Chain A
Amino acid sequence: MIQVSELHFTTEDGIKVLEDVDLHLERGELAYLVGEASAGKSLLLSLLAAQEPPQQGQILVNGRNVARLSREKALRLRRQIGFLPQGFVPSTRTVLGNLTFKLRALGDFREQAEEKALHALELVGLLRHQRTEAAELSAAERLRLGLALAICDDPLLLLIDDLFDGLDAEDQDQICGLLDRIHERGMTILAAARGPLPPKAVGGRVLELVDGRVTER
């Protein structure tokens, strides 16, 4: 599903954030990418999500070279990737409204959008909050909503940045369980996290991003 080789990225200030990154993720695999703050996790995920063009190196997502994609094809690829960025803030709508907005903006009809949205909310455990304003959700519930938004259109790949940010230990364990449930549906998942992983994060590979390089733990 993901094949990254010899990936380099240098900021405008000349700081080498990614240096000769090699990464391979099979279809249906779950992997955690850990690293300290500013290690380049967000950048790597943005590159994988085709939100940023790579400077040097090769990124193959679902067999397609991200660097060589036209604007249209990059947008099409982005639709197949559920991306939950760091510090995600939902729009000022209800929980259900956030999901149906995304689906309808992508061209789904109302009934179809609601059906998909309710299915995603059920999966992440937010069904009973469907009429709640998104602004009233707790940090853990907001994360669940973000996950529902990312998976509601049934993407091939799910990329999550800063997965456990702002969550207590109990919430972290629950989110690990939720990721396992999503993973069981056959989705490829790469979740970036700062610091040590919670004890329940045992269902997947653990990769570490240190000094611009990805290593297996």
Chain B
Amino acid sequence: MSGFSFLFRELLGSIRARSALLLSAASVLVFVSIASFATLLLLGGTSPSVETQRIRPDEIVASLSPRLSAERVDDLYLEIQARSDVSSISFRFAEEVSPGSTGGRFFIRATSTEAAPELLAAVEVLDGITEVTGGEPLPPAANVGLSPAFRIGLLVALVASIVLGLVLAREGYRALLRAFHGEIRIMRLSGTPERTIAAPVAALGLLLGLLTGLLLVVGVYLGLYAAGDSTSSIAELQSAGRVFGVTAAGFVLSLLLGGLGGLLGASLLSGRGFASGARR
């Protein structure tokens, strides 16, 4: 272990400007990838439908009991439509609006914003109506879902940053091993096993992955803290368990990517330029 920690420190001491730059850039890209990953999992779920997100001040959404017959729904529809303070009404199945829900919804628009509260009170007491919302805008925080285009963009960023990060990491390790070449030669001449030479390189990758993962943990914490002040409903929407799970998954992904980068770096030792002359 003392040999490993010595070699690890010596390897760190061989980091020069070029390798530092490349490895930092690789770490930033790994961070981008795990941040995209976390964003996709935290905010990229089913986005609330447009109708439920943005209820205008003059709009009311009335939920119907799933046990109502079609005739009763028709009757209710006509009854509400007949009111003088109703400008328009439409019916949609609850499943269309909110997957997994049953029953139906009336989307009712009052003739004016002022008329909406009275209309809401009148609809609320109708037989077969289970819940009525609206008449006032919902808090903007409810609109946390990501658009499909943004989700695709995040996926592309995730893949691209992983690939580019690994390419940069490999170049960073190549520059680092070039600076460490004399030491590698001395170790090989003196019969140091290849795994002893490669282990610190792989460990450096894990360390970079660990640091990047910790950065994600801090970033998520700060993000939630900042969002908690302005839009408390984010915290309501995203349970603590889910945030913890996604952050942990991002952390593990970061470790895996860092470790993979380290292994790529260690694999350079057997490639052209660093290969041992010995065949065993």
Q: Which A residues are closer than 8 A to B by beta carbons? A: 46, 50-53, 71-72, 74-79, 81, 83, 85, 89-93, 98, 101-102, 104-107, 109, 149, 153
CA–CA, A101 and B179, complex, Å? 15
A161 to chain B, nearest CB (A): 11
- What 5 A-B pairs come out closest when comparing CB atoms? A91-B182, A78-B191, A79-B191, A51-B278, A75-B191
Contact B187 A107 (CB under 8 A): no
Within B157-216, the residues touching A (CB, 8 Å) are: 179, 181-183, 185-187, 189-193, 196
Q: List 6 A-B contacts (CB under 8 A).
A: A75-B193, A76-B191, A78-B190, A79-B191, A91-B183, A92-B179
B12 CB, nearest partner CB in chain A, Å: 14
CB distance from A160 to the nearest CB of B (A): 12
Taking CB atoms, residues of chain B closer than 8 Å to A153 are 190
| Alpha-carbon separation in the docked complex, A153 to B191 (Å) | 12
- Near A by CB (< 8 A), chain B positions 1-55 give 2-3, 6-7, 10
Q: Are A92 and B186 in contact (CB-based, < 8 A)? A: no
Residues of B within 8 A of A79 (CB): 190-191
Chain B residue contacts of A74, Cβ below 8 A: 280
Q: Does B189 lie within 8 Å of A83, measured CB to CB?
A: yes
Q: Does more than half of chain B's interface fall in helix, strand or loop, or is it mixed? A: helix
* Interface membership of B271, Cβ < 8 A: no
A102 to B183: give the CA distance in the assembly, Å: 8
Given contacts A52-B278, A105-B7, A109-B2, contact A91 B189 (CB under 8 A): no
Smallest CB separation, B4 vs chain A (Å): 10
- For residues 125 through 142 of chain B, which have their beta carbon under 8 Å from a beta carbon of chain A? none
Which residues of chain A are within 8 angstroms of B277 by Cβ–Cβ distance?
46, 51-52
CA A51 to CA B278, docked complex, whole Å = 4
Complex Cα distance, B191 from A87, in Å, reads: 19
Complex CA distance for A51 and B276, rounded to whole angstroms: 9
CB pair B280–A53 under 8 Å, yes or no, is yes
Q: Which residues from 256 to 280 on chain B have a C-beta closer than 8 Å to any C-beta of chain A?
A: 277-280
B10 cross-chain contacts in A, Cβ below 8 A: 101
Whether the pair A149, B182 counts as a contact (CB closer than 8 A) is no
Q: Are B182 and A104 touching (Cβ within 8 A)? A: no
> How far is the CB of A144 from the nearest CB of chain B, in Å?
16
User: Nearest residue in A to B13 (C-beta to C-beta)?
Assistant: A93
Question: Chain B residues near A72 (CB, 8 Å)?
Answer: 193
What's the least CB distance linking B8 to chain A, in Å?
A: 11
Asked whether B186 lies within 8 Å of A91 as measured between CB atoms, the reply is yes
Kindly list chain A residues whose C-beta atoms are within 8 Å of the C-beta of B193: 72, 75
Expressed in whole angstroms, the Cα–Cα distance for A91 and B187 within the complex equals: 11
Bound complex: CA A101 to CA B185 (Å): 12
Q: Are B186 and A102 in contact (CB under 8 A)?
A: yes
Min CB distance B230 to A, Å, is: 54
Additional 17 contacts, C-beta under 8 A, given A78-B189, A104-B6, A105-B183: A46-B277, A51-B278, A52-B279, A71-B280, A75-B193, A78-B190, A81-B191, A85-B189, A90-B182, A91-B183, A91-B185, A92-B179, A102-B187, A106-B190, A107-B2, A109-B2, A149-B189
Is the Cβ of B3 less than 8 Å from the Cβ of A104? yes
Cβ–Cβ < 8 Å partners of B179 in chain A = 92
Interfacial chain B residues near A53, Cβ < 8 Å: 279-280
Chain B residues near A109: list those with CB within 8 A: 2
CA distance A149 to B192 in the complex (A): 14
**Which A residues touch B7, using CB under 8 A?**
105
- Given contacts A53-B279, A74-B280, A101-B10, whether A106 and B189 have CB atoms under 8 Å apart is no
Taking the closest CB of chain B, its distance from the CB of A48, in whole angstroms, is: 13
Residues from chain A with Cβ under 8 Å of B191 in the complex: 75-79, 81
CA distance in complex: A98, B190 (Å)? 12
Q: Which residues of B contact A106 (CB under 8 A)?
A: 3, 190, 192
**A91 to B182 Cα, complex, angstroms:** 4
Q: Least Cβ distance of A164 to chain B in Å?
A: 20
Residues of B within 8 A of A46 (CB): 277-278
Contact string, B205-241, partner A, CB cutoff 8 A, digits 1/0? 0000000000000000000000000000000000000
> CA of A56 to CA of B179 in the docked complex: distance in angstroms?
38
